[in-house]
Amino acid sequence: MQTPKYTYDVIIIGGGPIGIACALEAEKKELSYLILEKGCLVNSLYHYPTNMTFFSTSEKLELNNIPFISNNPKPRKAEALEYYRRIATSNKININLFEKVSKVESIEDMHLVTTIKDQYQARNVVIATGFYDIPNYLNIPGEDLPKVAHYYDDPHYYATLKTIVVGASNSAVDAALEIYRKGGEVTMIVRKEEIGRRVKYWVRPDIDNRIKEGNIKALFNATLKEIREKEVIIETPEGEKSLENDFVLMLTGYRPNFEFLKNMGIKLSDDGRKIPQYDEKTMETNVKGIYLAGVICGGTETHKWFIENSRVHAELIMEDLAKKKQA
């Protein structure tokens, strides 16, 4: 195999907010870098629901002290897309879009990064791929039917129809409320006895009241057992129920690509949480020269890391890389 013609101090896999933060810090430290993103700029954010409102304020979503001006107390998806796009374009971030990484190999003190288009060589690699790519499947009959979706975009699609929403997190609650307000008939299937405790505090009274008054139906301590063409089978404390319906939204969360990490030799905890092994002071994993940044650090606990508390990962990583380069 020929030596790749592209060599960098660091390759950043993932072009989301944290990947961009890593690029900005690399420039400060005069480190050569390249971001490789499998989709569009801030791809995961782009695929969030159209009307999504962030939990964080705009100040906590800022990168590199670049002001994020929002018209709302909590910024919306469209504002965030504009903010991160302007950062990328005005700073001329070095990023290849729609170039998925298929493999990372460690060869002595270098790393060979293979994508669907090319190969690159880097002294270091940062994994900032997030967690939004792989849904948590229930693995039940009918989950692959056309009426089933694991991602939600716009409520208009479900207007006047019967929609089952599985889950009780922020995404499930937002979808249920929006679809109800567009004239959809919504039934929530909630595995526990109440709506999730981490639901946005300004939204929780809304969903609780809509359920209480009966405008949104909710089955608690219930699980979806089977999906059929025109109905679903639900296991409840009172026994099985059959509900006629048109669509099923399986908003049961998402997880990082653990196989991608393991194939690089990164160790994961064996306690079910699959937390990757890394040094909290530098973010370097057990594989020399491979670093983690962002939500991927939390394993299955995807609620632990957000933009606001993982921006610092970029500084820790690039500080360590700069020290290594000077040594």
Structural domain including 315 reads 7-134+254-326
Separation of CA 164 from chain center: 23
CATH number of 169's domain: 3.50.50.60
Last residue of a domain, one of 210, 226, 250: 250
Residues comprising the chain, all counted:
327
Q: What gap in Å lies between CA 289 and CA 279, rounded to an integer?
A: 12
Q: What gap in Å lies between CA 26 and CA 20, rounded to an integer?
A: 10
Residues 17 and 159 in one domain: no
Which amino acid makes up residue 159? A
Q: What gap in Å lies between CA 12 and CA 23, rounded to an integer?
A: 8
> Residues 113, 11: contact at Cβ < 8 Å?
yes
pLDDT tens digit at each of 327 positions of the chain = 456 767 999 999 999 999 999 999 999 999 999 999 999 999 999 999 999 989 889 999 999 999 999 988 899 999 999 999 999 999 999 999 999 999 999 988 899 999 999 999 999 999 999 888 889 999 999 999 999 999 999 999 999 999 999 999 999 999 999 999 999 999 999 999 999 888 988 999 999 999 999 999 999 999 999 999 999 999 999 999 999 999 999 999 999 999 999 999 999 999 989 999 999 999 999 999 999 999 999 999 988 898 999 999 999 999 999 999 987
Residue 1 placed within a domain: no
pTM across the whole model: 0.92
User: Which pair of structure tokens corresponds to residue 218?
Assistant: 């909710």
Residues 29 and 165 in one domain: no
DSSP state for residue 157 in the 8-state scheme: G
